[in-house]
Amino acid sequence: MMQRKLLYGLLLVALIAVPVLGIYPLFVMKVLCFALFAAAFNLLIGYTGLLSFGHAMFLASAGYVTGYAMQTLRLSPEFGVLAGTAAATLLGFVVGIFAIRRQGIYFAMVTLALAQMVYFVFLQAPFTHGEDGLQGVPRGKLFGLVDLSSDVALYFVVLLVIVAAFLLIVRIVHSPFGQVLVAIKENEPRAVSLGYDTDRFKLLAFVLSAGLAGLAGSLKVLVQGFETLSDAYWTMSGLVILMTLVGGMGTLFGPLLGAALIVSLEDRLGDIGGALASLTGVGWFRSLGESVTIVTGLIFIACVLAFRRGIVGEIVARVRPLRA
């Protein structure tokens, strides 16, 4: 426990020092948003055992609502983020009512089908501007005082919100409610026999996961200043699954590491390809940036074969016998 707290403390210190170290704040904020998205998804699959193939709809719905509220309705950033998070939470409640009636692959297919319906709504809705998306979303001033046009100011606001959200996830996981979720994942019939209304617990877990994913989407549009259909497409749901499985499903730190690896790979793959092309003289490497899905797929296959519990899961499994 002490080692875990020390690890998180060092990570927090490193994140606080990012602007001082001269690291690009926008990139780190993007990683943090996806880390929260993956942590929210992990709350559902890693601790409740529910595989959702439609979590992108919560990320995108919050992003569109936040972008519209701030760009068209001229709301301040705090109300825009709250509106986006509330919209994703409400959507999660509606979707959850239908989805939790099924289990296993049927649950996954229901979430995928509903997510595709939401995608086509966003494609046709006038306020989303279709394939053009929302562009030029202003950052505004937080509470009318903090000017978020500064990347450094926005970075610390985003960091504070995401740390608070992560602490909430930690509290949920280690609460009696979280223990019931784990019991449902391990053996749902036994949890029912103990008198728990498992459908109610699963619905609440789904809504919490959707709300936290929505918070990630709201912060993401605040950071990047735009929202597009790519966030609502099914490939984004696949990407968050990849982040969670690579990092370590059912661990607190795993999704954070998985998100950092995948986002870094997607952002830097073109640079890596250029460097490899210069070193080897093979021009094919320059096309790596366009083939990011192939590379991430290969990484996923390698992790499944070599790290079946994910990177963090394997480390924990190897260290635990040594402690004993």
Integer angstrom CA distances of residue 223 from 15, 72, 85, 134, 277:
16, 17, 15, 13, 32
d(CA 222, CA 297): 29
Is 96 part of a structural domain of the chain? yes
> Tell me: the pLDDT tens digits for 156-191?
899 999 999 999 999 999 999 999 999 998 888 898
Find tokens 């699959």 and name the residue: 45
Task: Using alpha carbons, select from 176, 175, 148, 149 the residue that is nearest to residue 161.
Answer: 148
Q: Tell me how far apart the terminal alpha carbons of the chain are, to the nearest angstrom.
A: 14
Provide the pLDDT confidence category of residue 115 given band limits of 50, 70 and 90.
Answer: very high
Is 315 part of a structural domain of the chain? yes
Q: How many CB atoms lie within 10 A of CB 121?
A: 14
Is 7 part of a structural domain of the chain? no
Is 317 part of a structural domain of the chain? yes
Looking at residue 284, its pLDDT comes to 44
Is 75 part of a structural domain of the chain? yes
Which domain CATH number covers 104?
A: 1.10.3470
**Residue 276 reports pLDDT greater than 50:** no
Is 110 part of a structural domain of the chain? yes
Residue 115 phi/psi, 5-degree rounding, is -65, -40
**Residue 15 reports pLDDT greater than 60:** yes
The total domain count for the chain is 1
Is 19 part of a structural domain of the chain? no
Is 2 part of a structural domain of the chain? no
Looking at residue 90, its pLDDT comes to 96
Query: What is the value of pTM for the model shown?
Result: 0.88
Range of the domain at 217: 24-323
Looking at residue 179, its pLDDT comes to 92
